[in-house]
């Protein structure tokens, strides 16, 4: 199936209206989104909602139309559809007598870390006459300097680098304080944004008014280049490109832009300032942009195959709506991370806890994210785990349980959440210890051996002992759903501890520690008995052991199924699923009885426990409807109200990769994709 036929198939079925559509999305800083139904209705934004202006116009037989951005005032194209696929977002438009297909593509290939890590994306215009007549067409594109600053008041400078075969413009801050800013709702203000094309073009840096007005009137860009350096907002200099397509007939004509961002250095990890993985062997920005051009056909073909194959398998696993949910999540998950190279070249994949507190390599972000790398790449899974596991194995981490995070993005020099490295205050001891043991066991299942666990065995053993002594009946503490506050005797947390203990037993077995495996398995089985006895509440199981009449999603049970641990009796899941069906809201199942909000990732994990299509659809259909109806126009939220589809909090977080967990429930599909 080609991309064209895949798009037609999607349009023939239910059509998702994404709350925000990914455009160019590479990492937490290099991130463009469209948060409106019409691409020409609003400016593209960073995931934080800050404007990252890109503008496009087309002139057809002398009449100008706006394709993207909300200025200047003029007629706009008629947008017919928008389709979000894993690696691309495709807009179909009409401008008078011509059709335009505008495609934003990232070659986000998780089985090829060299390519996936490259901070470069493509914008392609495909123009054809609809009435079989020839029409004179000119295209225009520009962007501001906003993607290279944290605040528009910051001073920018630009240049026109010489890269063979390309017309290129470059912009960055004048100060270039590399790795000088950390936090959550912030944007990068070091490094350089490159815009380039191999097509015949006139390019210039002009004030936004001069560039856009001259093109709309004449099809050309004319004016005086502003002086520099200057504030990004001082006359809003834009980096403008005008293409003369000549006479366009029914045969489509294409033009393409490359956008790339060289951040110079990406992450500071335990005092080491590290480059992006793509740059580990000395590749610089010029080569990055050059290869983005010369290898486009290869990257596009590979990305198109991923789109077609993955969408088909997702639909087979969970239906068309599920496939569309995963397509919307795909690039968001990748763009919520940064892949860097350690000093020895080892890949390290750092998450950013977007729109919650900005922590880096947060363990309870890693846990819900993990189905994505577990499905696509064992190497990427190791890269996700390594920053945390290496940190936890150092003398700096003195506690008997796992850490919550290792800093504030992009500075990963030690835990900052709660008590940090200083005290046990507000830690998540059972949560994070269980998370990491479970994920190491899941990695071992993918790889067919436990050598990764062996490398960190003393640390894992310490955490297993902690779960044995403290996890089956957890004390008053936070879990990953920390927005709900502290809770003692948390049933779902107890489930996690018990599953973690069984996973540790499995790892013992894989490492030939037969007697230890038997001992730990017995501990896990005793934990199951305690958990079920203390949480039983008639037709379901409680939120907490000591709170009758309560309930919660037991999403941690999913690993019992995925890893074939055979811990919990089948009737436990059946009872819970039947009860959940009685508690559904219009837009999904609340997280628990305390509030009407839910978590998207946990809903899909709970849905994966279903053993029939009716139960599965009862979860997935409301999530899909939420994406369509939500008035909160933000990148895919994982925390929303089940009553009215409004965002409760969180957006653009990498945890949305957790929706791929259904694919792990099919051993054949898991082997197929992990084997790539």
- How many C-beta atoms surround the C-beta of residue 532 within 10 A? 17
63: helix, strand or coil? strand
Rounded CA-CA distance 411/480 in Å is 22
What's the whole-number mean pLDDT along residues 598-610?
Answer: 98
Cis amide linkage into residue 72, ω under 30° from 0 = yes
Q: What is the largest CA-CA distance in the chain?
A: 81
Query: Is the same domain home to 236 and 367?
Result: no
pLDDT reported for residue 171: 98
Rounded CA-CA distance 352/366 in Å is 10
- Identify whether 202 is part of a domain: yes
128: helix, strand or coil? strand
- Identify whether 641 is part of a domain: yes
What's the whole-number mean pLDDT along residues 70-86?
Answer: 97
pLDDT reported for residue 676: 86
Does residue 621 surpass a pLDDT of 50? yes
Rounded CA-CA distance 541/241 in Å is 61
Rounded CA-CA distance 484/544 in Å is 13
The DSSP string of 611-631 is SSHHHHHHHHHHHHHHHHH-S
Tokens of 274: 């590290």
What's the whole-number mean pLDDT along residues 449-474?
Answer: 98
Does residue 6 surpass a pLDDT of 70? no
pLDDT reported for residue 13: 73
What's the whole-number mean pLDDT along residues 42-54?
Answer: 98
Check residue 655 and report its DSSP letter: G
pTM of the complete model beyond 0.85: yes
User: In whole angstroms, how far apart are CA 447 and each of 40, 75, 349?
Assistant: 47, 56, 18
3-state secondary structure 547-609: CCCCCECCHHHHHHHHCCCCCCCHHHHHHHHHHHHCCCECCECCCECCECEEEHHHHHHHHCC
Residue 99, φ and ψ in degrees, nearest 5 = -100, 140
Does residue 4 surpass a pLDDT of 90? no
3: confidence class by pLDDT, cuts 50, 70, 90: low
Note down the domain range covering 432: 346-674
Rounded CA-CA distance 18/34 in Å is 9
CATH number reported for the structural domain that contains residue 594 in this entry:
1.50.10.10
Of 104, 114, 127, the closest CA to residue 31 belongs to 104
Query: Is the same domain home to 264 and 390?
Result: no
Query: Is the same domain home to 58 and 196?
Result: yes
179: confidence class by pLDDT, cuts 50, 70, 90: very high
Rounded CA-CA distance 281/296 in Å is 21
Using one digit for the tens of pLDDT, what is the confidence trace for 221-256?
999 999 999 999 999 999 999 999 999 998 999 999
Does residue 469 surpass a pLDDT of 70? yes
Tokens of 143: 């962007």
What's the whole-number mean pLDDT along residues 364-388?
Answer: 98
Pairing of strands 267-269, 411-412: parallel
From 276, 297, 326, the end of a domain falls on: 276
Radius of gyration of the chain (CA): 26
Rounded CA-CA distance 609/589 in Å is 14
Query: Is the same domain home to 235 and 372?
Result: no
Using one digit for the tens of pLDDT, what is the confidence trace for 292-338?
999 999 999 999 999 999 999 999 999 999 999 999 999 999 999 99
- Identify whether 282 is part of a domain: no
Number of domains in the chain: 2
∠ at Cα 261 (255, 266), nearest 5°? 155
Rounded CA-CA distance 393/464 in Å is 15
How many Cα neighbours within 13 Å face the side chain of 514?
0
- Identify whether 315 is part of a domain: no
Does residue 11 surpass a pLDDT of 70? no
pLDDT reported for residue 14: 84
- Identify whether 335 is part of a domain: no
- How many C-beta atoms surround the C-beta of residue 564 within 10 A? 11
In contact, 139 and 100? CB cutoff 8 Å: no
Of 204, 197, 303, the closest CA to residue 260 belongs to 197
476: helix, strand or coil? coil
Query: Is the same domain home to 248 and 368?
Result: no
pLDDT reported for residue 9: 59
Angle between helices 570-581 and 613-629 (to 10 degrees): 40
Q: Per residue in 337-351, is it b (16+ CB within 10 Å) or e — as a string?
A: bbbbbbeeeebbbbb
Tokens of 541: 């199981």
- How many C-beta atoms surround the C-beta of residue 9 within 10 A? 15
CATH number reported for the structural domain that contains residue 50 in this entry:
2.70.98
1: confidence class by pLDDT, cuts 50, 70, 90: very low
Angle between helices 320-335 and 296-318 (to 10 degrees): 130
- Identify whether 307 is part of a domain: no
Query: Is the same domain home to 272 and 351?
Result: no
From 276, 304, 336, the end of a domain falls on: 276
Looking up tokens 């079989």, which residue turns up?
132
Tokens of 404: 């919550």
Rounded CA-CA distance 262/276 in Å is 9
Of 194, 204, 250, the closest CA to residue 226 belongs to 204
Check residue 657 and report its DSSP letter: G
Tokens of 405: 């995070």
The residue count for the chain: 676
Rounded CA-CA distance 299/305 in Å is 10
Rounded CA-CA distance 173/633 in Å is 29
Query: Is the same domain home to 350 and 266?
Result: no
Query: Is the same domain home to 272 and 365?
Result: no
Query: Is the same domain home to 396 and 252?
Result: no
In contact, 362 and 407? CB cutoff 8 Å: no
Region for 448 from its dihedrals, namely left if φ exceeds 0, alpha if ψ lies in -120 to 50, beta otherwise: left
Residue 466, φ and ψ in degrees, nearest 5 = -65, -45
Region for 95 from its dihedrals, namely left if φ exceeds 0, alpha if ψ lies in -120 to 50, beta otherwise: beta
| Residue 318: partners with Cβ closer than 8 Å, 6 or more residues away | 616, 620, 662
Rounded CA-CA distance 333/73 in Å is 35
Query: Is the same domain home to 540 and 457?
Result: yes
Pairing of strands 120-129, 253-262: antiparallel
Rounded CA-CA distance 30/276 in Å is 13
- Identify whether 82 is part of a domain: yes
Looking up tokens 């800093």, which residue turns up?
407
Q: E strands within 302-342?
A: 337-341
Q: Per residue in 491-500, is it b (16+ CB within 10 Å) or e — as a string?
A: bbbbbbbbbb
Query: Is the same domain home to 350 and 216?
Result: no
What's the whole-number mean pLDDT along residues 75-102?
Answer: 98
Query: Is the same domain home to 406 and 531?
Result: yes
Looking up tokens 């909300």, which residue turns up?
70
- Identify whether 295 is part of a domain: no
From 276, 304, 326, the end of a domain falls on: 276
Q: Output the average pLDDT for the chain.
A: 97
């Amino acid at each position: 199936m080609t991309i064209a036929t895949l798009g037609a198939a999607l349009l023939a079925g239910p059509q998702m209206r994404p709350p925000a559509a990914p455009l160019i999305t590479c990492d937490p800083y290099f991130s463009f989104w469209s948060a409106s139904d019409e691409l020409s209705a609003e400016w593209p934004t960073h995931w934080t909602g800050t404007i990252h202006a890109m503008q496009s116009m087309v002139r057809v037989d002398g009449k100008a139309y706006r394709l993207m951005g909300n200025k200047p005032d003029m007629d706009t194209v008629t947008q017919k559809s928008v389709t979000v696929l894993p690696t691309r977002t495709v807009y179909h438009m009409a401008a008078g007598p011509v059709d335009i297909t505008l495609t934003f593509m990232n070659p986000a290939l998780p089985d090829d870390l060299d390519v996936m890590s490259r901070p470069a994306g493509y914008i392609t215009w495909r123009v054809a006459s609809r009435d079989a007549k020839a029409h004179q067409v000119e295209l225009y594109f520009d962007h501001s300097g906003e993607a290279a600053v944290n605040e528009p008041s910051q001073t920018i400078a630009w240049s026109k680098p010489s890269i063979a075969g390309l017309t290129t413009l470059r912009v960055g801050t004048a100060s270039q304080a590399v790795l000088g800013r950390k936090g959550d709702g912030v944007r990068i203000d070091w490094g350089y944004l490159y815009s380039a094309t191999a097509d015949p073009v006139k390019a210039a840096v002009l004030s936004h008014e001069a560039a856009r007005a001259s093109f709309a009137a004449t099809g050309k860009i004319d004016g005086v280049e502003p002086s520099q350096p200057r504030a990004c907002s001082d006359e809003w200099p834009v980096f403008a490109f005008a293409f003369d397509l000549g006479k366009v007939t029914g045969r489509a004509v294409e033009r393409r832009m490359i956008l790339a961002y060289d951040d110079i250095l990406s992450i500071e990890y335990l005092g080491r300032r590290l480059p992006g993985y793509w740059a580990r062997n000395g590749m610089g920005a010029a080569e990055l942009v050059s290869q983005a051009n010369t290898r486009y056909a290869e990257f596009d073909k590979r990305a198109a195959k991923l789109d077609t194959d993955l969408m088909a398998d997702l639909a087979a696993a969970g239906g068309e709506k599920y496939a569309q949910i995963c397509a919307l999540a795909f690039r968001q998950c990748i763009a919520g991370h940064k892949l860097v190279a350690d000093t020895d070249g080892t890949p390290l994949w750092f998450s950013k806890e977007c729109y919650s507190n900005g922590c880096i390599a947060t363990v309870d972000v890693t846990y819900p994210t993990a189905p994505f790398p577990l499905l696509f790449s064992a190497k990427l899974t190791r890269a996700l785990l390594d920053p945390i596991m290496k940190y936890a194995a150092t003398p700096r981490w003195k506690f008997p349980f796992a850490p919550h995070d290792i800093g504030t993005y992009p500075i990963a020099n030690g835990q900052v959440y709660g008590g940090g490295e200083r005290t046990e205050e507000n830690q998540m001891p059972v949560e994070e210890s269980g998370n990491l043991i479970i994920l190491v066991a899941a990695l071992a299942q993918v790889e067919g051996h436990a050598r990764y666990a062996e490398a960190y065995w003393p640390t894992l053993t310490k955490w297993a002992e902690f779960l044995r002594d403290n996890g089956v009946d957890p004390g008053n503490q936070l879990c990953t759903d920390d927005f709900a506050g502290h809770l003692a005797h948390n049933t779902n947390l107890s489930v996690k501890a018990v599953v973690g203990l069984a996973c540790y037993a499995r790892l013992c077995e894989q490492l030939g520690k037969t007697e230890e495996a038997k001992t730990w398995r017995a501990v896990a089985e005793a934990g199951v008995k305690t958990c079920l006895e203390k949480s039983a509440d008639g037709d379901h199981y409680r939120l907490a052991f000591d709170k009758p009449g309560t309930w919660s999603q037991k999403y941690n049970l999913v690993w019992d199924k995925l890893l074939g641990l055979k811990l919990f009796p089948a009737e436990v899941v059946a009872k819970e699923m039947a009860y959940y069906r009685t508690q559904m809201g219009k837009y999904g199942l609340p997280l628990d009885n305390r509030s009407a909000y839910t978590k998207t990732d946990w809903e899909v994990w709970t849905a994966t426990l279903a053993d029939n299509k009716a139960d599965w659809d009862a979860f997935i259909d409301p999530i899909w409807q939420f994406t369509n109806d939500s008035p909160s126009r933000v990148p895919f939220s994982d925390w929303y109200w089940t009553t009215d589809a409004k965002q409760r909090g969180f957006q653009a977080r990498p945890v949305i990769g957790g929706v791929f967990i259904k694919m792990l429930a099919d051993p054949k599909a898991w082997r197929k994709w992990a084997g790539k």
